[in-house]
């Protein structure tokens, strides 16, 4: 019976060899994939086990981790609530989702290479490693003024400091409460997330920098005007055709003015006046005169097409590559396929306000370690030169006129010179137009530039009753809040 016993030992060897292979497959070959699975609680637990850094506005935390009595050790809370939801993003079972939580996950969680040296010293000093905190550029007064003025309407409002690029406010409506996504009850979080994700109003999308971009409408005339002035062929008092409807070559349709009114006597107007009353036909004419390249180059100098991260990724705004004459005329007034983010529109105003220089927008002022010492401080950085200071001064003058005499009157502030531009962007024939306003103040010493869009809030028949009446007061509230008294 000995030889079958020996053969049996081969069977045993085979059985155990199989087990060595199967355990190796799991613990060596597939280990990485297994750890990366979103439903892997161990990975989650180890990331929950470390205190995550705070997100601070001034001295106030809008996101912070508090000790939890359960196995997760830390609970992420959002004292800033929905008002700052799109800035903070959320930190949930699904990992760091959207906003700064996602964009600066490495710093907040403490795993970033920038913190490597600190981790080593933590190891030797026995200090518990925790993530870095972020101090934001947000001015809570401006942020709250924007939220209050938007009053729950769908849309977005952004404010930047023109001379530094610091983002002072960034609001996107509708919002959401990040706390519902950061809880420790997986089922509840899943339900809340699915609800928000399925909501047709897309509350999870940060409209200020992402999502489906907006047609800019007449606020794009800032770019067209800048291109015109920069070309040297036009001055603010240059005479332009301003018929009720501009004939477009190669088509049977024209480019009509809002309300189908002529822009001046004998269908003539000046560049300044065209800006003031937002005359489509004059700007359509300008677009065709300047050509697609000039228009696109000018837009690019304001940052259109740039891949920006603030540090969240900003969806690049765009002017179409191929434009024939009628498309060019429509693009010059911010229609056709021109698409922008509210942040980009704020950068139009900020560039004009900052003597033609566009600063790189950013949201994080400084990175702080857990003992609040500064690890990294953001320096203002020039993004591009959009116009010469002279052109910027002319544009400022024209935008001041818009608020003083034209469609932007609702944004007037007593005792402060406000520069602005209204916009009423048609999306399709059925829906109401998007109401835009962008501007800065004080015009002689710009401290804050803003952009506001209210979705389907505008009146397509009147720029003053559209972008001016709807967007103007919101911009006014933000400008007032941001002005240093």
Partner 1 sequence: MTTISSLASRKGRNVELALLVFAVGIVVLAYINVGIAVEGAIPPSLVAVGSGFLVITAVFHLVMRWRAPYADPLILPIATLLNGLGLVMINRLDLARGDDLAEGMALRQLMWSALAAGLAIAALIILRDHRILRRYTYLAGALGFGLLVLPLVPGLGLENYGSRIWIKLGPFSFQPGEIAKVVLAIFFAGYLVQTRDALSVAGRRILGLTLPRARDLGPILVAWMLSVGVLVLEKDLGSSLLFFGLFVAMLYVATERTSWVALGLMLFGVGCWVANMLFSHVQQRVLLWLDTFSREALDTSDQLAKGIMGMGSGGMFGTGLGRGRPDLTYFAESDFIIPSFGEEIGLVGLFALLLLYVLLVERGLRTAIGARDGFGKLLASGLAFSVALQCFVVVGGVTRVIPLTGLTMPFLSQGGSSLLANWTLVALLLRISDHARRPVPDPEAPSPVASDQTQVVKVR
What residue ranges bind partner 1 (CB under 8 A)?
1-6, 8-9, 11-13, 15-16, 18-20, 22-28, 30-31, 33-35, 37, 39-43, 45
Token reading at 364: 């994080």
> Before 311, cis peptide (omega within 30)?
yes
The set of residues, in sequence order, having a beta carbon less than 8 Å from that of 148 and lying 6+ positions away, is: 477
Residues known to be catalytic? 218
To partner 1, the closest distance from the beta carbon of 160 in angstroms equals 44
- Rounded distance between C-alpha atoms, residue 353 and residue 346, angstroms: 10
Residue among 9 and 405 whose Cβ is closer to partner 1: 9
Write out the H or E segment, with its range, that includes residue 67. strand 60-67
To partner 1, the closest distance from the beta carbon of 45 in angstroms equals 6
Strands (E), 330-445: 357-359, 364-368, 374-377, 382-385, 419-425, 433-441
To partner 1, the closest distance from the beta carbon of 12 in angstroms equals 4
The set of residues, in sequence order, having a beta carbon less than 8 Å from that of 307 and lying 6+ positions away, is: 313, 314, 316
Residue among 193 and 336 whose Cβ is closer to partner 1: 193
Phi, psi of 145, rounded to the nearest 5 degrees: -60, -40
Residue among 23 and 309 whose Cβ is closer to partner 1: 23
- Rounded distance between C-alpha atoms, residue 423 and residue 475, angstroms: 13
Do the beta carbons of residue 432 and residue 132 sit within 8 Å?
no
- Rounded distance between C-alpha atoms, residue 254 and residue 260, angstroms: 11
To partner 1, the closest distance from the beta carbon of 22 in angstroms equals 4
- Rounded distance between C-alpha atoms, residue 162 and residue 159, angstroms: 9
Q: Are strands 308-309 and 313-314 parallel, antiparallel or unpaired?
A: antiparallel
Residue among 2 and 252 whose Cβ is closer to partner 1: 2
- Rounded distance between C-alpha atoms, residue 289 and residue 468, angstroms: 28
Compute how many other C-beta atoms are within 10 angstroms of the C-beta atom of residue 2: 6
To partner 1, the closest distance from the beta carbon of 190 in angstroms equals 13
Residue among 19 and 430 whose Cβ is closer to partner 1: 19
Residue among 74 and 283 whose Cβ is closer to partner 1: 74
To partner 1, the closest distance from the beta carbon of 72 in angstroms equals 12
The set of residues, in sequence order, having a beta carbon less than 8 Å from that of 171 and lying 6+ positions away, is: 83, 86, 143, 146, 147, 150, 156, 157, 158, 208
- Rounded distance between C-alpha atoms, residue 94 and residue 101, angstroms: 12
To partner 1, the closest distance from the beta carbon of 8 in angstroms equals 6
Residue among 13 and 253 whose Cβ is closer to partner 1: 13
Residue among 22 and 201 whose Cβ is closer to partner 1: 22
- Rounded distance between C-alpha atoms, residue 151 and residue 283, angstroms: 33
- Rounded distance between C-alpha atoms, residue 162 and residue 258, angstroms: 31
To partner 1, the closest distance from the beta carbon of 152 in angstroms equals 37
Compute how many other C-beta atoms are within 10 angstroms of the C-beta atom of residue 23: 10
């Amino acid at each position: 019976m000995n030889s079958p016993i020996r053969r049996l030992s081969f069977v045993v060897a085979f059985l155990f060899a199989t087990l060595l292979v199967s355990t190796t497959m799991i613990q060596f070959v597939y280990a990485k994939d297994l750890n990366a699975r979103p439903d892997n609680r161990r990975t989650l637990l180890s990331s929950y086990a470390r205190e995550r850094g705070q997100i601070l506005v001034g001295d106030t935390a809008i996101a912070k981790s508090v000790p939890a009595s359960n196995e997760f050790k830390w609970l992420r809370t959002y004292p800033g609530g929905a008002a700052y939801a799109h800035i903070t993003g959320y930190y949930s079972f699904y990992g760091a989702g959207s906003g700064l939580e996602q964009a600066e996950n490495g710093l907040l969680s403490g795993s970033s290479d920038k913190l490597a040296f600190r981790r080593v010293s933590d190891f030797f000093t026995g200090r518990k490693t925790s993530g870095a905190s972020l101090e934001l550029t947000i001015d809570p007064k401006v942020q709250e003024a924007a939220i209050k003025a938007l009053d729950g309407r769908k849309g977005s409002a952004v404010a930047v400091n023109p001379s530094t690029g610091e983002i002072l406010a960034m609001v996107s409506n509708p919002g959401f409460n990040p706390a519902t996504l950061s809880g420790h009850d997986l089922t509840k979080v899943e339900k809340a997330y699915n609800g928000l994700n399925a909501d047709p109003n897309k509350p999870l999308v940060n409209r200020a920098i992402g999502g489906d971009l907006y047609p800019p409408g007449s606020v794009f005339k800032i770019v067209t005007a800048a291109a015109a002035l920069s070309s040297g062929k036009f001055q603010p008092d240059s005479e332009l055709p301003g018929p009720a409807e501009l004939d477009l070559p190669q088509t049977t349709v024209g480019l009509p003015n809002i309300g189908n009114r002529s822009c001046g006597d004998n269908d003539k107007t000046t560049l300044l006046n065209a800006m003031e009353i937002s005359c489509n036909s004059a700007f359509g004419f300008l677009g065709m005169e300047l050509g697609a390249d000039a228009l696109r180059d000018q837009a690019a100098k304001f940052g259109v097409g740039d891949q920006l991260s603030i540090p969240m990724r900003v969806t690049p705004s765009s002017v179409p590559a191929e434009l024939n004459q009628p498309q060019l005329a429509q693009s010059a007034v911010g229609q056709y396929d021109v698409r922008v983010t509210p942040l980009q529109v704020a950068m139009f105003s900020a560039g004009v306000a900052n003597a033609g220089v566009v600063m790189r927008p950013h949201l994080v002022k400084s990175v702080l370690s857990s003992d609040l010492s500064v690890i990294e401080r953001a320096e203002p950085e020039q993004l591009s030169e959009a116009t010469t200071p002279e052109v910027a001064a002319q544009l400022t003058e024209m935008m001041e006129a818009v608020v003083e005499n034209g469609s932007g009157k609702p944004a007037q502030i007593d005792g402060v010179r406000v520069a602005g531009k209204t916009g009423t962007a048609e999306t399709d024939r059925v829906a109401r137009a998007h109401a835009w306003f962008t501007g800065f103040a004080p015009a002689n010493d710009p401290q804050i530039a803003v952009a506001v869009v209210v979705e389907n809030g505008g009146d397509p028949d009147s720029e003053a009753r559209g972008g001016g009446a709807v967007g103007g007061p919101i911009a006014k509230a933000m400008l007032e809040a941001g002005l240093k008294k």
